[in-house]
A and B are shown apart, each in its own frame.
Chain A
Amino acid sequence: MSTTAELLKQASDLFPDEVVTSAHVRHFDLPFGAGRFALITLDNGLDHTKPTTFGPASLANLDAAIDQVEKEAADGDIVGVGITGKPFIFAVGADLKGVELLKEHEHALAIGKGGHEVFKRLAKLAVPTFTYYNGAAMGGGVEVGLHCTYRTVSKAIPAFSLPEVFLGLVPGWGGCTLLPNLIGADKAVSVIIENSLNQNKQLKGQQVFDLGIADAIFEGADFLEQSLLWTAQVLKGDVTVERPVIDRGEAWDQAVAKGRFIADGKVHGAAPAAYRALDIIAAARNEDLQQGFDAEDQALADLIMGGELRAGIYAFNLVQKRGKRPAGAPDKNLARPVTKVGVVGAGLMASQLALLFLRRLEVPVVLTDIDQERVDKGVGYVHAEIDKLLGKGRINQDKANRLKALVTGVLDKAEGFADADFVIEAVFEEIGVKQQVFAEVEAVAPAHAILATNTSSLSVTEMASKLKHPERVVGFHFFNPVAVLPLLEIVRGEKTDDASLATAFAVAKKLKKTAVLVKDAPAFVVNRILTRFMGEIQNVIDEGTPVEVAEKAVEPLGLPMSPLVLLELVGPAIGLHVSETLHGAFPDRFTVSPNLKAVVEAGKRGFYVYDSGKPELDPEVAALLKQGDTVLTEEQVRARVLDAVAQEIGLMLDEGVVAEAQDIDLCLITGAGWPFHLGGITPYLDREGVSERVNGKKFLAPGVASVPA
C-alpha cells in the first residue's frame, strides 16, 4: 500500500459513516480519431439531492482510479484522462461530517495531505488531464479540477465556489495556491475571499469561464459531448488553449491587500480563515506549488483544530438543517390553508409585511388602517415596490399585474377580513391598542383565522387574553429589514393551540423565513439578548468609560457593526422603548440608560456624524452625555458584556424561552447577523470560558461546536 493509501485508510477508519463517492473509469475512442480516452466519473450513487462529496474513502477511490489511468497513460494506452460528475453535480468538496469528527491535529493534517497527494497525481500523469465541470462544484470539487491541465464548464452550472473561508477553512487541496497561479491573485481573491465572505456567493458557469478558471464553456444540453469533442481537438492540436499572462508584480500585493481590507470589513480580524488564505495566496506568487500545498496543509490542520471552524460548521448546520426543521414545531399536517391575508395597519412595517406575504404566498392581501389616506399610502408603497422589482427584471409584467391585483386596502375590517385565514397586526406597540385591534378583528374574521402579532416585546398571552378564542393568537416577530433578515420568532401564547402554531410555521416556510419557536417571554430572544448586550455597553459608558473604549471592547468578536452603530440602525427611541419594557420585566438586570434617554429626548437619531467619512461622536451627543468616573479597560468592558450575555442566555434557557442553546444561536445568526465564527454566540462563550465563569457550565457539549473530547 502506498503512503497515501495508508493515510486515507487510517482517515476512513475514523469516519465510518462516510457517504462514499466512487470514481468510475470508462474508456472510449474520442471523435476525430484523437485516440483512446479514459473518463473518470465521480458518483456517490445517489440522486442530485445528495451531492457527491470527498471523504477519505472517496479520495481512496479516486486514488485507485488514478492508479489505473496512470499505468495506462505510461503504457501509451490512452491519450488523455478526464473527470466529470453525475448528472447535475460535479462534486461539492470535503465531507464536513468527517471534519467534525477529527480530534487530533495529526489527523487533521492527514486530511489535507490526503487530498493533496491524490489530486497532485493528476498533474503528473503522462497524458493531459481534463476536468468537465458539468454541475455544482464547490471546495474540493473545484480544486480537483485545478490540478488538471484543462477545464471546461457547463453554462448551466448554478453553483461554483470555494466556500471554505465562509465556513472557517482555507481552500486547502490546492485552491489557495493553484487558483491565483491560474487566474491571477486579484480574481483569486474575489473567488476565495470576497465571494466567501459575501454570504458564500456562488458563481455561475459563464462567470467561471470569464474568470479564466475554465478554458471552454458549453451549453448544458450537450455539455459532455462538446467537452469531449473539444478535448479531441486539443489533443490533436487543432485547438490551442491560450491563457492570459498573470501579473506577478505589484498587482499581486494589491490583490492581497484588497483581500485583507475585505476581510477586515467583514470579520474585523476576529476569524482567522480569510487571513490564513491570504497568506498562502500572497506566497503563491513565487510559483512554488509544493510550498503552497504544505502551507495549505498546515492552515487546514490549524483551522480544523480551532474553535472558529467548529463554530462555523455548527452555525452552517443550524441554518441549513435546524433552520429548516424548527425544533418544537407541531405536526405540519395540522396546518390550515392560508388563502387570504389581512394586515392591520398600513404603516411602513405593515406595508413591508403585506409585500412579503404577497410575493411569497401569492394570495389576496388586504391592508386596513384608520383613514383612507394611510390605506392608500400603504397600498401605494406595495405597488411601488412591485414596480421596482419589475424594473430590475426580478418579475415580469404578468407577475407584476397579478401581484398588484392581489393587494387592496379598505377601511372597513368587516369587508376586508370576512374571508381572511390569517390576519397580522403591526400597529403601535401598546398593549391596550393591540387588544382593541384583535377584538375588532375577531368580531369580523372567520372562526378559523389565525390572529398574528408582530409585537417585539409585548406579551402575546396578554394580547389574546380578552378574546373569545385566544387559542388562535400567535406571535410572528419579524426583524428589520424584513426582506433581508431571515429570522422569524414564532411565539406560542399560553393558550395557542397546535393547529394555529402549525399554520404559523407553514406560513413561515412559505415566506422562506427561518422560524424559531419561542416562549411568550419579554422581548423573546434576539431583542432580549441585544438589549442586555447594549445595556451593559451603555452602563459602562454611563459609569465613565469613554465611548470609543466601550465600542472597541467588543471589536474582537467581529460583529457586523459596533453597538452604537447598531443602536443607530434600530433607532435610539425603539432601543429605549425595549430597554424600558425589559427593565419593567427584569429590573435587576436591565437598566434604562439616562444618557440614552437624553439622546432620545434631544431628538437625535444616532450617536455619530459621518462628515469626515468615518463615524465620529456627534458633538451634540457628547455634550448630552453625563458620565461617572469609573473608567474600565477594553478587556474589563468585554468581560462585563460577555458575562451579562452568558448570564442572560443561561436564564433564558432555564426559563424555557427556547428549546436549546442552538435556537439562541440560530436566532442571533439569522436575526442579528452575528457571525458564523462565533457560532451565534454560545460556542464563543464556551470557548472563551465565559459560560463556565458565569453559569458554572458550558452551553454545548464538547464536539457540538468545538473539537470533540
Chain B
Amino acid sequence: MPRTVRDVVFVDGVRTPFGKAGPKGIYHETRADDLVVKAIRELLRRNPGLDPKKIDEVAIAATTQIGDQGLTLGRTAGILAGLPQSVPGYSIDRMCAGALTAVTTTAGSIAFGAYDAVIAGGVEHMGRHPMGEGVDPNPRFVSEKLVDESALFMGMTAENLHDRYPQITKLRADEYAVRSQEKAAKAYANGKIQQDLVPISVRRTNPEGGETGWGLVTADEPMRPGTTLENLQSLKTPFRVHGRVTAGNAAGLNDGATASIIASEDFARENNLPVKMRLVSYAFAGVEPEVMGYGPIPATEKALAKAGLSISDIGLFEINEAFAVQVLAFLDHYGIADDDERVNQYGGAIAFGHPLASSGVRLMTQLARQFEEQPHVRYGLTTMCVGFGMGATVIWENPHFEGDK
C-alpha cells in the first residue's frame, strides 16, 4: 500500500488562565479534569467547522496521573467534554513536555495517515498533585550512581546549570526575569493573551483565600507586573545557600490546562478550519538528568538537522521558562542576545506560570499568534526542558508567510 506523508498543522489552541498552586490559589477547589474539559469545550466552540465525530483521538498529558489526573484522562476528558463516545482518548506523560508530546505523537500519527484530526493538550494541577506525589524512584539510581541525587529536584538542576555556565550570573537571570514580567504585562495590555484564554468558574469556601462563593477567572494568577530587579535580588535561593535560582527567576508551582486541535493540512482546509502553523520537524533529546535545563539545546540541534534548517532560519522562539538560566544557556549556545526580540515576545512561564504537562501547547498558541502578526517570519520554534534530563523542540512554519519581500 503506497503511503504519503501528510502535512500536519496546528489549527487552534486555548488554555485556562494559570493559577498558583496551593490553598489560596484560584483553582484550589477546582478539579484538574474539569480544567482540561473546559479547555476542550472552548476549543470546539471556537471551531464549529470541526465535527466532533471526526475527531480521531484525544491525547491529554499529565505528569502525575492519579486521582483527577488519572483514569486515562484523554478518554474521560473526552466523555466529560461531551464528545461522541466513538472518539477515543489516551494519556501522555513526558513531565513538562507532556502537552508538547501529545502534539508531536498525534502529529506523527496524522502524518502517517492514522488520524485526520485530534485534540492534544495537557493539564497539571500542582496544588492537588504536588511534584513528586507518589513517586518511588528505583534505589539503583543512587546506588549505582545512575543519576546525581539532585536530578530529582528541578531547582537543584537549575543551580547545576549555573555551575556549568559560570557566565550566566544571578544578575543575568534576574534581569531576564524582569523582562519576562514586563513583556507579559505588555502582551496583556495589548490583548494578546486573553484571546486564547478560557474563562473558568471557580468556587471558594475558605474565606482565607478571599471572597467566598463562585467566581470567574479570566486572567493568569501568577503574574507580577511591575517586578523590579531590586525586588528579585532580595529573594531567597531555596535550592542552595548563596545560590542563584529564586522564585523570581523561575516559573512557580501552578495549576492549568491547555488544549489544541492538530490536523492534517488537507483535512483542515476541507473543513474550513484555520491553519495557524505548519509542523516542520520535532525532536527530543536526553542529557544528564542533573542538568536537565540543557535539554533544549541538543533537541533543537536534532530538530534543525531533520528540517535542514539552521538556527538563523528561525525568526521566533517560544522557550519555556522553567528557569531563566535554562533560557540563557540556550541563547548563549546559539549566540542570541538575552533581550533578542525574537525570543518569548509575550513573556514566558516566569510570568504566566508553568503547570508542567500543560505548558507545551501554551508555547504553540503564543507562537501561532505571533506568526499571524508577523508574516515576514517563516519559521519559529517551541522548545522546553524536561525533567530527568530531556529537551523537546518543535519547529513550525508560518502559513501566513508572505515570502522575502
Contacts and interface: CB of A to CB of B under 8 A. Distances in A.
A222 interface: yes
B204 interface: yes
Interface stretch (A38-46, A48-56, A575-583, A659-667): A38-46
A29 B218 contact: yes
B80 interface: yes
B211 A31 contact: no
B201 A43 contact: no
Interface string A203-231: 00000000000000001011011001100
Contacts of B211: 24-27
Task: Output the residue of B200, B204, B217, B218 with the most chain A CB within 10 A.
Answer: B218
A86 B204 CA distance: 10
B203 A228 contact: no
B215 A26 contact: yes
Interface string A271-304: 0000000000000000000000000000000000
A225 B201 contact: yes
B113 interface: no
A229 B199 contact: yes
Contacts of B224: none
Nearest to B200: A225
Contacts of A30: 216
Nearest to A41: B213
A219 B216 contact: no
B364 interface: no
Interface string A81-96: 0001011000000000
Q: Is the interface of B mostly helix, strand, loop or mixed?
A: mixed
B41 A221 contact: yes
A28 interface: yes
Interface in A236-255: none
B48 interface: no
Interface string B141-168: 0000000000000000000000000000
A46 to B, nearest CB: 11
Nearest to B204: A26
A654 B212 CA distance: 56
A228 B37 CA distance: 18
A61 to B, nearest CB: 12
B204 A222 contact: no
Given A221-B81, A228-B199, A43 B213 contact: yes
A22 B205 CA distance: 11
B215 A225 contact: no
Given A31-B218, A221-B38, A225-B38, A26 B200 contact: no
A26 B37 contact: no
Nearest to B214: A41
B82 interface: yes
Contact of B213 (A26, A37, A87): A26
Interface residues of B, number: 23
B68 to A, nearest CB: 15
Nearest to A30: B216
Contacts of A25: 211, 213
Contact of A24 (B37, B41, B212): B212
A222 B214 contact: no
A225 B81 contact: no
A24 B213 contact: yes
Interface string A9-37: 00000000000001011111111000001
Nearest to A84: B214
Given A24-B211, A26-B211, A28-B215, A228 B201 contact: yes
A622 B323 CA distance: 99
Interface in B170-216: 198-201, 203-205, 210-216
A28 B213 contact: no
A212 to B, nearest CB: 25
Contacts of A221: 37-38, 41, 80-82
Contacts of B203: 41, 86-87
Nearest to A37: B216
B214 A39 contact: yes
B42 to A, nearest CB: 8
B38 A28 contact: no
A39 B199 CA distance: 15
A219 to B, nearest CB: 7
B201 A222 contact: yes
Contacts of A28: 215-218
Contacts of B37: 221-222
Contacts of B199: 31, 225, 228-229
Contacts of B38: 221-222, 225
Interface string A50-92: 0000000000000000000000000000000000101100000
Contacts of B213: 24-26, 39-41, 43
Interface string B24-64: 00000000000001100110000000000000000000000
B152 to A, nearest CB: 37
A29 B217 CA distance: 9
Nearest to B194: A31
Contacts of A228: 199, 201, 216
Task: Output the residue of A27, A31, A224 with the most chain B CB within 10 A.
Answer: A224
Contact of B215 (A22, A31, A39, A86): A39
Contacts of B212: 22, 24, 26, 41
A87 B204 CA distance: 12
Given A24-B211, A31-B199, A225 B216 contact: yes
Nearest to A222: B38
Contacts of B204: 26
A28 B218 CA distance: 9
A238 B174 CA distance: 45
A559 to B, nearest CB: 47
A230 to B, nearest CB: 12
Contacts of B215: 26-28, 39
A688 B104 CA distance: 80
A222 B44 CA distance: 13
Contacts of A22: 212
A227 B15 CA distance: 19
A358 to B, nearest CB: 28
A71 B198 CA distance: 31
A40 B213 CA distance: 7
Contacts of A26: 204, 210-215
A403 B42 CA distance: 42
A43 B206 CA distance: 13
A285 to B, nearest CB: 37
A389 B38 CA distance: 36
Contacts of B82: 219, 221
Given A26-B212, A39-B213, A219-B82, A224 B218 contact: no
Nearest to B191: A33
Contacts of B80: 221
A84 B215 CA distance: 11
A224 B201 contact: yes
Contacts of B200: 225
Contacts of B210: 26
A224 B201 CA distance: 6
A225 B216 CA distance: 7
A222 B218 contact: no
A479 B212 CA distance: 51
Contacts of B42: 222
A154 B23 CA distance: 29
A540 to B, nearest CB: 63
A28 B200 CA distance: 12
10 contacts: A40-B213, A41-B213, A43-B205, A87-B203, A221-B41, A221-B80, A221-B81, A222-B37, A224-B214, A228-B201
List the 6 shortest-distance A-B pairs measured between CB atoms, nearest first: A24-B213, A41-B213, A224-B201, A26-B211, A26-B213, A24-B212
Interface of B: 37-38, 41-42, 80-82, 198-201, 203-205, 210-218
Given A41-B203, A222-B37, A225-B198, 15 more contacts: A22-B212, A25-B213, A26-B204, A26-B211, A26-B212, A27-B215, A28-B216, A28-B218, A45-B205, A86-B203, A221-B80, A222-B201, A224-B201, A225-B38, A228-B201
